[in-house]
Amino acid sequence: MSDTNSYSIRVEPTKQSRLSQVDFNNLKFGQIMSDHMLVANYDNGAWTDVSIVPYGDLQISPAMSSLHYGQAIFEGVKAYKYADETVSVFRPDQNWERLNKSAKRLQMPEVPQEIFLEGLKQLLKIDKQWIPSIEGTSLYIRPFMFGTEPALGVHASASYKFIIITCPVGAYYSQPISLKVETYYTRAVSGGVGFSKNAGNYALSLYPTQLANEEGYDQIMWTDAAEHKYIEEAGTANLIFRIGDSIITPHGETILHGVTRRTIMELAEKWGYTTEQRNVSVAELIDGIKNGTVTEAFAAGTAATVTHISRIGFEGQDYELPPVEGREFSNKVFDYLNQLRYGKIEDPFGWNFIV
């Protein structure tokens, strides 16, 4: 990590903390923001005014370019508090790298590591009280960037804001989910923006997801744009399967390369499982469920780490997966990551970024 300190971060503490009004036993995801936010502006080719200020509304122009042309990207990260009050963020360097990959694809400026990581560190120090400590809880961190130029010409915005806001999130007990294999709508195409974490990828998923919900499924299983034969990912999370003795995840530029997916595949390899990153066809999955070789299937993402999949719908037919209790790998990896992130076990990989 860089230790040059070329950006001085101005800190303006809140005069009125909202902390005492928060019911930490009843947190709805993403609704209560911590007292402070980090804001940096990009103007005339350089990042300036890096500051930590009270969380609050922004003033924007109606002509702000990102509202019209969509230069908007984001990240999702989590911070955890150990029993001894140590604060740890899970692999934020990966999020910083991914943010900059998204930025490049959308013709946006890169955010220096120092603003992202050092800024985050300082933000978490000032809002340390907002990080809940009960096991299963965490502080969700949302870094994001968008074009701010007040002009309607179609071109890359000349100015940007990079902001980090955070919110405490309650213990998340995710129920197993059902997925509908999507065979008409498309999330991403090769040469497109599927690998980037940009706002538009979510906008386009909402309508097809609503249709899937109306048919009784929780989420969509996206398939490739050309043939709708190969599995890509779930709505907001990557997919990992255990087929035979192999831990398998789809690959390629049309999926978002999740930090959780990467972490889980790295662990699988370390633990001696066979791992494969390759095309997985819907037919392979359905056949495997029918003949019993698909023993585990789950979605992997920062929100819930591991969300078991209980049922998959394809062409009007439902396929049930084996009971969650018997899923050896996914339960093991979920427990391991929980312990690691709360500092209960050694961190041999250096994944915990201590604040």
Ligand X SMILES: *Cc1c(COP(=O)(O)O)cnc(C)c1O
Q: Which is nearer to ligand X, 1 or 204 (CB)?
A: 204
Residue-by-residue DSSP string for 185-254: --S--TTSSTTS-BHHHHHHHHHHHHHHHHTT-SEEEEE-TTTS-BEEEESSSEEEEEETTEEEE--STT
> In whole angstroms, what is the distance from residue 158 CA to residue 298 CA?
41
Residue-by-residue DSSP string for 71-107: -EEE--EEEEE-TT--EEEESHHHHHHHHHHHHHHTT
Query: Which of 302, 307, 330, 352 touches ligand X by CB under 6 A?
Result: 302
Contact segment (CB under 6 A) with ligand X among 48-56, 170-178, 253-261, 340-348 equals: 253-261
Query: Which of 33, 164, 237, 289 touches ligand X by CB under 6 A?
Result: 237
- Establish if 238 lies at the interface with ligand X (CB under 6 A): yes
- Establish if 132 lies at the interface with ligand X (CB under 6 A): no
Minimum Å distance from CB 256 to ligand X?
Answer: 4
> In whole angstroms, what is the distance from residue 355 CA to residue 352 CA?
9
Query: Which of 34, 186, 260, 330 touches ligand X by CB under 6 A?
Result: 260
Identity of residue 178: S
- Establish if 233 lies at the interface with ligand X (CB under 6 A): yes
Measured CA distances, 193 to 4, 161, 181, 253 (Å): 33, 21, 21, 8
- Contact letters (x/-) for ligand X, 62-81, by CB under 6 A? --------------x-----
Task: Name the residue whose CB lies closest to ligand X.
Answer: 258
- Establish if 193 lies at the interface with ligand X (CB under 6 A): no
Instruction: Confirm if 124 and 131 have CB atoms less than 8 A apart.
Output: yes
- Establish if 301 lies at the interface with ligand X (CB under 6 A): yes
Contact segment (CB under 6 A) with ligand X among 143-151, 229-237, 314-322, 329-337 equals: 229-237
**Where on the chain is the footprint of ligand X (CB under 6 A)?**
76, 197, 233, 236-238, 256, 258-261, 301-302
